[in-house]
Structure formats: C-alpha cells, structure tokens
Amino acid sequence: MAEAFIVEAVRTQVGRRGGSLSAEHPVDVAAHVLTSLVKRAGIDPVVVDDVILGATDMVGPQAGDIARLAWLAGGLPENVPGVTIDRQCGSSQQAVHFAAQAVMSGTQDVVVAGGVQLMSVVPMNIAWSAGRDLVHPDPYSGSRGWQGRYGAQEVSQFRAAELIARRWEIPREEMERFALASHERAVHATEQGWFEREIEAFGAGSRDECPRPSTSLERMATLNPLTEGGSITAALSSQICDGAAALLICSERAVEQYGLRPRARVHAMSVRGDDPVYMLTAPIPATRDVLRRAGLALDDIDLFEINEAFASVVLAWQRELGVGSERLNVNGGAIALGHPIGASGARIMTTLLHELERRQARFGLQSMCEGGGQANATVIERL
C-alpha cells in the first residue's frame, strides 16, 4: 500500500477564553496556520490538491466552508479547493485521516489537513441554539427514530462524563489528581520551551494561555459539580479556548518530486462508534482497533495522547487498557492546554509529532472522544 507522510505540522498558541485570539476572525487564524505550514514546508502552494479543515458550530464567521475561505484569505492560489468537515471533537483528526486516505489511494499527492475553532467568537453549541425557532429545535427532539431507540433522556457530554465516572468507579479525588498533573505537565513543558517549535504565534499572544501554575488540589476541592449530586467540576473538564493547527500530508511521489523531508508516516488509522448516550467511551475500542490494524501491541507505543475532554474519559481508558501515566499525555492535555474543538485533533497530532522528535521515540498513538459516541485513533511513526 502507498504511504502517507507527515511533512510538516504547525499550530497557533491556544488562547484562553477572552484571550489573545478572542478578537480575531476565525478565517484569519486558520489562514495564518495555512500560510505558516506552506512556508515551513518550502512547497509551492499551487501543487496542493486539497485543503481539509475540521470545525464545529459552522455559523457566522465559521460558516461558508472556512477551509476554502481561509486558504484564499491567506493569499494562496485560487486553483486549490477546500472542504470543511464536522466529526465533532475529532473533526481535524478526521481531516488528517481523509488526507492520508486520499494520498494512500493515489488520487491525491499533497493535502493540507487541520482545523480551527474560536470558541470565544463562536460559542460552543451555538449551532444548536440557532435552531430553537425551527420546526425541530435540536438534533434529538421530535425524531421518532432517535426517541424510539434512545428515548427522551438527556444526551450531553456532561452527563456522559458523570456516567463514565460512576460506571468505572472513578472518585472525584482521583480525577482531581489527574487534572492537577495535567496542569503541572503543561506548565513544565511551557517553561522548558518544548512547545515553541510547533507554535506560530498569532495576534497578541505567543504561548499557550490555559495552563494554571497556581492551581491546587485544595482549590479544586472548593468547586461545585456541574450537575447536582455529580462529581465532575469545571476543573475536571477541558477548557473553552481558541486555536488552529494544520499538517501537510504527502505521497512518496510528492516527497521525491518536490524535495520534501518527511518527518513521520501515518502508520494506521481507525474510527469506531460506541454508545451515544455514554458518548465519550469510543477511544477504548478505537485504540484496540488501531493497534490491531497497525500490528502493534500497547508496549510498542512510546507516547499516547488521549484527549482530556473530561478526566473521567482518560481514566476509564486507562482502566480498560492498563497504560501507565508515564507515557500518557506527557506534556499535559486539554484540561490544562484547552480544547478548541474543531482544531484539537490537529493540535494534538502536532504536539505528538514534536514530542516524538524531542525524545527520539518511534510510535505515537492518538485518540479522542467525539459527539455521537465516536472516536478516531491514529498511530504515527517518526522517521
């Protein structure tokens, strides 16, 4: 089978809600990572076959196929098309999958994949609230098929995080220790300058803004749960934030023709579904499936990145897979670094690639939970 190579990967700083990216236009932020990617790779942008970006809540400034608009706003060639996709939190990881699949199939040779989300500018789930005055106000209410199968019960990420904590018997104190470690690792990585190579700053900021050096178990313990009687608090949840990221995926033919240096290859890919009410558990079967497809065992993986949508999600994954913390989210995760939904998959992969290089390690595995009870999983191999 043909190979798909990661030639370059770049991201903006992750801006906190109301931070350095909060007054910017999403099209301009996405354009910035696209132009930075092309410049870093040293490739003529006219040879790009397609631009695939992930985004959710595609309304207002994130509407109108932001992949195409951002490419044009960056002053890049008009002959290159773009498409925007929504697989919820995994949108930009799926963008990488589509790009790699296009290259592996031989139908394309040079594809840009990434994502953008400015949650300060376009509030989370605004696409849902925009439908309140329509005949059917949201994706579930009034659907005979959905309600016939799942009833009228609440379907939300917050309830799912609580259900997972109960099912896997994960106490609040354990989740708080996990969240604190995420912040400590992210703060340490920032102070050591480990993120600097992957960031092309935009706007008024230059560093990730969400990690909290001053947080503590004592402070976390004072927070009220998000739902009455629950255990999930804001401290145990991914942060609302802003950011964009992009990767250049190329075929072997393109690498040779354009004199490019591949940094990694996409070794295996999977996307799996699970219970949509529990919603956030699919990284467990997706991890198992991608390892099977890769012909690898858990012990073969040097670094794991499992998106910290909520602390309970990652801890349940650990309970099922038996992976220790020393290889998992080693520079912190979304609890500390933030979760700009449409961009997170590409942001995480960019960070994973750079950390594999810093450690001179070989294999990295990434997975993330997604709305509807789905998960993408990817194994990349550093070259």
Q: What are 16's strand-pairing partners?
A: 241
Question: Cβ(290)–Cβ(268) under 8 Å?
Answer: yes
Would you tell me how many other CB atoms lie within 10 Å of the CB of residue 226?
A: 17
Catalytic residue list contains 89: yes
Torsion from C-alpha of 74, 107, 375, 291, nearest 10 degrees: -130
- Which residue in 89, 210, 241, 250 is the catalytic one? 89
Question: Cβ(228)–Cβ(240) under 8 Å?
Answer: no
Nearest CA among 111, 29, 37 for reference residue 350: 37
Lookup: tokens for 193: 């300058």
SS (H, E, C) 341-383: HHHHHHHHHHHHHHHHHHHCCCEEEEEEEECCCEEEEEEEEEC
Catalytic residue list contains 339: yes
Question: Cβ(110)–Cβ(47) under 8 Å?
Answer: yes
3-state DSSP assignment of residue 15:
strand
- Which residue in 32, 183, 267, 339 is the catalytic one? 339
How far apart, in whole angstroms, are the C-alpha atoms of residue 182 and residue 89?
19
Catalytic residue list contains 369: yes
Residue type for position 378: T
- Which residue in 210, 241, 250, 369 is the catalytic one? 369
Residues belonging to the active site: 89, 339, 369
